[in-house]
Amino acid sequence: MINNLINLVKEHACDAIINNSAIPNEKNNEAISSTANSIFDTLKNQAIGGNLNNVIGMFNNSSTNLNSTISNNVVTDLMQKFNLDNTQANQIAGSLIPKVLDNLVKKTNDSNDNSFDLQDILKNIGGSNSGIGGLLGNLFK
């Protein structure tokens, strides 16, 4: 799943990361991976922290505050890992995260696109120790 998420971020990273002078070219792939990992980690932390309904709601196009939580976490990671100031990191997240999340939801809900599967996502973010993965696997059978 994480590789598909990295590829999804890469698809939309042109102006936000690749053509952004705040991130040196040699750090582009690292910034893309960091952004994807931050998205994944936020989803995982939400699921493990008891906010699984927010994660599921995101894929059901329900109104949740998860998008802003993800954006805030991406901003924090970009600032820490790439020495960006708040404005630079917010510009990147503001232009990139809505596109990535919108496409993640669309691809997950598109039965003709097998790059993302909600059951697989939920198993991955639930983790093997939490029991969420197995529980969710039974829900979607």
Residue of higher predicted confidence among 63 and 70: 70
- HEC readout, 51-106: CHHHHHHHHCCCCCCHHHHHHHHHHHHHHHHHCCCHHHHHHHHHHHHHHHHHHHHH
pLDDT higher than 90, residue 63: no
Q: How confident is the model at residue 37, as a pLDDT? A: 97
> In angstroms, rounded to a whole number, what is the distance separating the alpha carbons of residues 70 and 92?
13
Domain residues for 30?
2-139
Domain count, the chain: 1
pLDDT higher than 80, residue 25: yes
Q: How confident is the model at residue 135, as a pLDDT? A: 45
Q: Looking at this protein, which amino acid is placed at residue 72? A: N
Q: Supply 132's token pair.
A: 């969420």
pTM: 0.85
Measured between its terminal Cα atoms, the distance across the chain in Å is: 20
pLDDT higher than 50, residue 130: no
Torsion angle, CA of 34/39/41/45, rounded to 10 degrees?
160
